[in-house]
Chains A and B, each alone.
Chain A
Amino acid sequence: MALQSSMRWRYLKEGFFFGLVRLSAFVITAALGGLLFYIFFNGLGAISWGFLTLPPTDSMTKGGIMPAILGTVYLTLGAIAIALPLGITSAIYLTEYARQGPLVRVIRIGVNCLAGVPSIVFGLFGLGLFVVFLQFGSCILSGALTLGILILPTIIGASEEALKGVPQTFREASLALGVSKWQTIYRIVLPSAMPGILTGSILGIGRAAGETAPIMFTAAAFFTAKLPSSIFDEVMALPFHIYVLATAGTHIEATRPIQFGTVLVLVGLVLVVDLVAIIIRSTIRKRKRW
């Protein structure tokens, strides 16, 4: 009798905790869905061909956001161009070449710490180093460098994981054929790790596209209808544009639809990038068999 009641109590507890788990999964999904729906619902009205292809007009209360879209694309591409080679080579050094010891451990801790630094700190660092000290001024180059450093830990982390995931037997097979270490890395290890490196990196890219604080002092213009002609030009950027319209504009209430439209474009951009990552990963996973 006592046994039976204790069993019932166990089932009750189990049911309760499973319910809790289910509930939290549901809450997260609902929150995400609600957020996306809210943005979509409020922003869709603002989207038109003109909105995507024209510069803002009338003190940014009318017109489009094309310069900001373009600016974000430039900044993000610049950040990738800087962070991807640097991140991949660092990861190769850490996993393939460096003797595993205290030095490598210190570097790894450093990289992880970098990942936890608030993005505004990166913004101030970029302002101090690139804008002021190196005298690049507020421009695409400074912004891309700052964003590049911001996403570097993500890319190093993803690359390290991907490199570690390449079976040791591949390296051994290649080296045993009298192939040098560098050629082994270049011909066997890197191609096998590439899908992992790319997916991890693309997720970092999504983050770079959405950050406001790092570009606030280093690249983003309050308003410029002129499109950039070199990497030393200031640009508008989607996240900063939203920030400006929502807090510093002269017609905050009147520009709500434009604000939501811009948010929708930014979210759409990031989702597309993430989607690409997911597609790359799943197609390569199907091809890979080890």
Chain B
Amino acid sequence: MEDNRVIKTKDVNFYYGKFRALTDISMDFEKNRVTALIGPSGCGKSTLLRLLNRMNDLIDGTRVEGEVLFEGKNIYDPEVDPVEIRRRIGMVFQKPNPFPKSIFSNITYGPRLAGLSDRVELEALAEQSLKQAVLWDEVKDILGQSAMMLSGGQQQRLCIARALAMKPDVLLMDEPTSALDPISTAKIEELIQDLKRQYTIIIVTHNMQQAARISDKTGFFYIGKLIEYSATEKIFTRPDVKQTEDYITGRFG
């Protein structure tokens, strides 16, 4: 049978020094689905997201226990190259973080360093990625200008295009709209709906309406534990756990 679960975590514990940020997380992420991770600040949802492409490696004094399986292989095996993992599992951050380079260079930076040098191919890739991120029409005449000139919402879509240019399988999004205005937010939510046909998307969000609107499955985290994980509709209409209900109805103390 074909396994639809692209990423699986098995009994994952994560420590910042002595502080245990995640406890026994076992979770499956399905292909071509949008999975939302919700929960109060400091609950570990961003930490989990950053575990999935080994971004937590950058922080000194952290430790992972358990397994994170990507296509059946543990990405924390010693022989696995995190660079390779990050090529296949892209990430979009909370604050738009374009490089201080031209729009074109922002998109082609990753592919170029991965070995693509043909100008025509790079241009085609840039156009394709920008179209996927619904930014092409706004920037097609100013590709040579600095990405820093764009608005926040445009910058964030540029960052999405930049991640897509690497042709990843999975796209991780860490509160991608929290720094944006409502119109930009709506655009990005719409974009996420389109992207899930091709990509597996895992998104951390503080905005519960957003999780309800765009995700297929939702996981609720509290103090480093996965409290409840099931279809979004179920989580938001008849959750099994009282804590989940309290949180989504805003009765959380």
Stretch in A45-53, A81-89, A167-175 touching the partner: A167-175
A109 to B191, CA, bound (A): 51
Query: Chain B contacts of A172 at CB under 8 A?
Result: 55, 58, 93, 97
User: Are A174 and B95 neighbours in the complex by a CB distance under 8 Å?
Assistant: no
Stretch in B17-25, B79-87, B137-145, B227-235 touching the partner: B79-87
CB distance from B193 to the nearest CB of A (A): 23
Say yes or no for A76: interface residue by CB 8 A criterion.
no
Q: How many residues of B contact A (CB 8 A)?
A: 28
Could you tell me which residues of chain B, from 84 to 104, have a CB within 8 Å of some CB in chain A? 84-88, 90-91, 93, 95, 97-100
**Chain A 183-211 against B: per-residue CB contact (8 Å), 1 yes, 0 no?**
10001100010000000000000000000
User: Are A177 and B95 neighbours in the complex by a CB distance under 8 Å?
Assistant: no
Query: Chain B contacts of A167 at CB under 8 A?
Result: 97
User: Are A173 and B93 neighbours in the complex by a CB distance under 8 Å?
Assistant: yes
User: Are A180 and B99 neighbours in the complex by a CB distance under 8 Å?
Assistant: no
Query: Chain A contacts of B93 at CB under 8 A?
Result: 169, 172-173, 176
User: Are B100 and A288 neighbours in the complex by a CB distance under 8 Å?
Assistant: yes
User: Are A177 and B166 neighbours in the complex by a CB distance under 8 Å?
Assistant: yes
User: Are A192 and B83 neighbours in the complex by a CB distance under 8 Å?
Assistant: no
Say yes or no for B1: interface residue by CB 8 A criterion.
no
Say yes or no for B159: interface residue by CB 8 A criterion.
yes
Say yes or no for A116: interface residue by CB 8 A criterion.
no
User: Are A173 and B87 neighbours in the complex by a CB distance under 8 Å?
Assistant: no
User: Are B58 and A171 neighbours in the complex by a CB distance under 8 Å?
Assistant: yes
Q: Quick one: given A99-B60, A172-B58, A173-B93, are A179 and B110 in contact (CB under 8 Å)?
A: yes
Q: Quick one: given A173-B99, A290-B148, are A178 and B110 in contact (CB under 8 Å)?
A: yes
Say yes or no for B236: interface residue by CB 8 A criterion.
no
Q: Quick one: given A169-B95, A192-B100, A288-B100, are A177 and B90 in contact (CB under 8 Å)?
A: yes
Query: Chain B contacts of A288 at CB under 8 A?
Result: 100
User: Are A177 and B163 neighbours in the complex by a CB distance under 8 Å?
Assistant: yes
B110 (CB) vs chain A CBs: closest residue: A177
Say yes or no for A100: interface residue by CB 8 A criterion.
yes
A288 to B162, CA, bound (A): 21
User: Are A289 and B100 neighbours in the complex by a CB distance under 8 Å?
Assistant: yes
User: Are B91 and A176 neighbours in the complex by a CB distance under 8 Å?
Assistant: yes
Query: Chain A contacts of B58 at CB under 8 A?
Result: 171-172, 175
Could you tell me which residues of chain A, from 138 to 170, have a CB within 8 Å of some CB in chain B? 167, 169-170
Query: Chain A contacts of B86 at CB under 8 A?
Result: 175-178
Say yes or no for B114: interface residue by CB 8 A criterion.
yes
CB distance from B158 to the nearest CB of A (A): 11
A188 to B100, CA, bound (A): 9
A98 to B179, CA, bound (A): 33
Could you tell me which residues of chain A, from 22 to 70, have a CB within 8 Å of some CB in chain B? none
CB distance from B115 to the nearest CB of A (A): 11
Query: Chain A contacts of B15 at CB under 8 A?
Result: none
A183 to B60, CA, bound (A): 20
Say yes or no for B247: interface residue by CB 8 A criterion.
no
Contact of B83 among A170, A178, A289 (CB under 8 A): A178
User: Are B83 and A179 neighbours in the complex by a CB distance under 8 Å?
Assistant: yes
Query: Chain A contacts of B91 at CB under 8 A?
Result: 176
CB distance from A8 to the nearest CB of B (A): 50
Q: Quick one: given A169-B95, A175-B58, A180-B83, are A187 and B113 in contact (CB under 8 Å)?
A: yes
CB distance from A107 to the nearest CB of B (A): 16
A172 to B99, CA, bound (A): 11
Query: Chain A contacts of B163 at CB under 8 A?
Result: 176-177
Q: Quick one: given A99-B60, A187-B113, A288-B100, are A176 and B95 in contact (CB under 8 Å)?
A: no
Contact of A170 among B90, B99, B166 (CB under 8 A): B99
CB distance from A196 to the nearest CB of B (A): 14
CB distance from B147 to the nearest CB of A (A): 10
A191 (CB) vs chain B CBs: closest residue: B100
A187 to B113, CA, bound (A): 10
A187 to B112, CA, bound (A): 11
Q: Quick one: given A99-B60, A169-B93, A289-B148, are A178 and B114 in contact (CB under 8 Å)?
A: yes
User: Are B99 and A178 neighbours in the complex by a CB distance under 8 Å?
Assistant: no
Query: Chain A contacts of B114 at CB under 8 A?
Result: 178-179
User: Are A174 and B109 neighbours in the complex by a CB distance under 8 Å?
Assistant: yes
Say yes or no for B53: interface residue by CB 8 A criterion.
yes
27 contacts between A and B (CB under 8 A): A100-B60, A167-B97, A169-B93, A169-B97, A171-B58, A172-B58, A172-B97, A173-B99, A173-B159, A173-B162, A176-B91, A176-B93, A177-B86, A177-B87, A177-B90, A177-B109, A177-B162, A177-B163, A178-B83, A178-B85, A178-B110, A179-B109, A179-B114, A187-B109, A188-B99, A289-B100, A289-B146
With A173-B159, A187-B109 already in contact, 12 other A-B pairs whose C-beta atoms are closer than 8 Å: A99-B60, A169-B93, A173-B162, A174-B109, A175-B55, A176-B91, A176-B93, A178-B83, A178-B87, A179-B83, A179-B113, A289-B146
